[in-house]
Amino acid sequence: MALLGCVCIASLAFGQAHPAAQPVHPAAHPVAQPVQPAAQAAVSQEAAGAHKTVDAAAVDEPKEVVSGDSAQVMDIAADESADSAKSAGEAAAQEESAKEEEPAAVAESAGSGPKTVLGVLLLESATGPAELAVGMTKTLIENLNAMGRYEMYYPDDISSALERNGERTPAGCRDPRCVNDIGKAIGALRMIYGSIDKNDERYGVRLEMMNVKSGGIETVSVEGAPGVPAKDVLAAALARVHGDESATANLSKYYGPPINNIVELLWSTVAVQGVGIFYTLINYGVGGSEGSRDMDGYTGYNKNEKLSGIYASSNQIPVFARPAALANAYTAVSDDAYGVLYNPAGMAWVTKRDAVIAYQSRFGMDLIAASYANRATRELGFGQAILMATDRDGAMTEMYFVSAFGYKFNQDYLFGPVSVGASVKFMGNTVRALSPDSPYGQSYGAGLDLGAMWELSKNIRYGLLLRDLPSANMWKNRTTGERYSESQPATLHMGGSYKPGYSAFLTADGQIPIYADQPWVMAGGIEYEFFRMLALRIGLQREILNDDAGWWKITCGAGFKFGVNSGRDMSLDLAYEYNTLDLFPVINVSVKAGF
């Protein structure tokens, strides 16, 4: 039944068609010829003076330059008309072709050729005053009007159009799916949005131009040299988003506004690791003077051993629901609070504060975990996690205290940026005697994980993780009166993730043997989102190149998102694990909040 349920979820995820939005053609919509509110009257008057008519042939392949005097993007299609030397028949054919390809995105106006319908969203500003974003949005509209190739919906026009359709404008809409939905609702072919920040004497601009029909996005992020006016940086970014790379003077790549959460990183690390060290040492010392005889022979026996020993640890159990539903294939993802217990290099890709609390029921054991992730600087991210595992009889308790750090090198290395990371963890274990013949003891230990992540493209990432290098526990067996150390074998993991669109997500992972008795493990998962509020997931895991391993682990789950457009989102994630060995089913529940 569990297998059937997972298959049903997969069928729903890939069989259900996403309802297509019904675009509003500008010519028929009440605000197709944008009516400016009082707040935009000045924009309209100034833009009208700069408006230029362009040839229809210039619509599909725009050409822009940045003026040396005004640094504004000016349309040059008319100036190059003599060089074009196209016949009236060729121009008409191109116009007809453009109409056939984009019937709802081209509007006719008296005395001009066809224009691309463009929706303009209000720019955001993370570091500058509110007036900066409003003023630069006005400048952006002026520059777009000066190009003469767009029939525009201004921010207030978009709100009016959505209200007429019985919809409201989502607050803080910057998610590509949200922007795409707005574009379809108003009948736009293109949507432009972004941000402008003031960092000391520099202005940084990020512009994104979306093709609503295909979903493709052209992104430009530039930062001006100290003293370069904001309007000049904005004009250069607009030129680049249209393919004009000629404006390079006094510009550099912009990696976002400065972030300074170093104090938060320090106190959270001191708190988690301080509690971890205190707990493990106190837990280990509870046994008093018992267990004073060292087992040197036992420790020495492992030094020349070429086998891993297959160490059992709750630290390696996929306790969080989203990774668990994806068959634990999270090495190349790990860019949220879930990733703290996976690849530390993913902390460098965290975009905001993220907190998780999770519960898992596994084979008569209860696992509870809490984690937190954030960025300390633009390049440095961090995460903290506490994991507790205990059986319901109280015979065993494991505690883990983890601090993860990831640093990203923003420069492009062959394909894209690279991050490296490390996790430091302290652990304390207790085994209680439930009968006269049962062992009784405590341990303390520490471990280190190393990871890397490489962004091969905007949609593809590669991840590498070396877990437990090294990791060891010092045990005190109070039943036998002996002490000994027990090392945890290192494991090597590689993975990749691919996001083909806004809704689908694929990830794969593999464990590569380091020791002779470690298996090859391959896993993969698929996630599909519906309406940005529901995510369905399914995954498979199997040991390969092992004649004795005939089992499969089949996972599935769902995620429910709330407040996706508010900037403070929350999600409830569920996961179910079934294996063909007919062991007890595993259930995961996680609640994650982003703010």
Tokens for 11, please give them: 């069928």
Quote the mean pLDDT of the chain.
77
371 near 385, Cβ under 8 Å? yes
Within a 10 A sphere around the Cβ of 367, how many other Cβ atoms? Answer: 21
How far apart, in whole angstroms, are the C-alpha atoms of residue 213 and residue 307? 56
Greater model confidence, 14 or 452: 452
Q: Which of 442, 504, 505 is CA-nearest to residue 475?
A: 442
How far apart, in whole angstroms, are the C-alpha atoms of residue 142 and residue 225? 23
535 near 562, Cβ under 8 Å? no
448 near 471, Cβ under 8 Å? yes
Collect all residues with Cβ–Cβ distance below 8 Å to 370 and sequence separation of at least 6.
355, 356, 357, 358, 385, 386
Collect all residues with Cβ–Cβ distance below 8 Å to 231 and sequence separation of at least 6.
71, 72, 136, 139
Confidence of residue 58 (pLDDT cuts 50, 70, 90): very low
State the pLDDT at residue 552.
85
Which amino acid would we find at residue 450?
A: L
Which percentage of the chain shows pLDDT scores above 90? 44
Angle at 35 between CA 34 and CA 37, to 5 degrees: 130
561 near 360, Cβ under 8 Å? no
- Tell me what the mean pLDDT of segment 255-277 comes to: 94
In tens, the pLDDT along 33-46 reads 333 333 333 333 33
How far apart, in whole angstroms, are the C-alpha atoms of residue 476 and residue 471? 17
Taken in order 160, 166, 172, 178, is the CA torsion positive or negative? negative
How far apart, in whole angstroms, are the C-alpha atoms of residue 424 and residue 420? 14
344 near 422, Cβ under 8 Å? yes
Greater model confidence, 471 or 145: 145
Residue-range domain boundaries for the chain:
35-253, 262-594
Q: Which of 422, 419, 431 is CA-nearest to residue 389?
A: 431
State the pLDDT at residue 512.
92
Task: Measure CA of the first residue to CA of the last residue in the chain; give whole Å.
Answer: 38
In tens, the pLDDT along 552-594 reads 889 999 999 987 666 678 999 999 998 876 667 888 999 999 8
For 35-253, CATH gives 3.40.50.10610
In tens, the pLDDT along 296-350 reads 444 444 444 454 554 556 666 768 999 999 999 999 999 999 999 999 999 999 9
CATH 3.50.7.10 is the classification of domain 262-594? no
The pTM for the full model equals: 0.76
Strands 534-544 and 553-562 come out as: antiparallel
In tens, the pLDDT along 129-149 reads 888 999 999 999 999 999 999
Write down how long the chain is: 595
Least confident of 263-267, 302-306, 480-484, 514-518: 302-306
- Given phi > 0 = left and psi -120 to 50 = alpha, else beta, which region is 212? alpha
In tens, the pLDDT along 66-77 reads 333 333 333 333
Q: In the block, which residue shows the tokens 């400065």?
A: 258
- Tell me what the mean pLDDT of segment 517-535 comes to: 91
C-beta pairs of 126-132 under 8 Å, 24+ apart in sequence? 126/195, 126/197, 126/256, 126/257, 127/197, 127/198, 127/199, 127/257, 127/258, 128/196, 128/197, 128/198, 129/198, 132/196, 132/198, 132/230
Which percentage of the chain shows pLDDT scores above 70? 71
Confidence of residue 483 (pLDDT cuts 50, 70, 90): confident
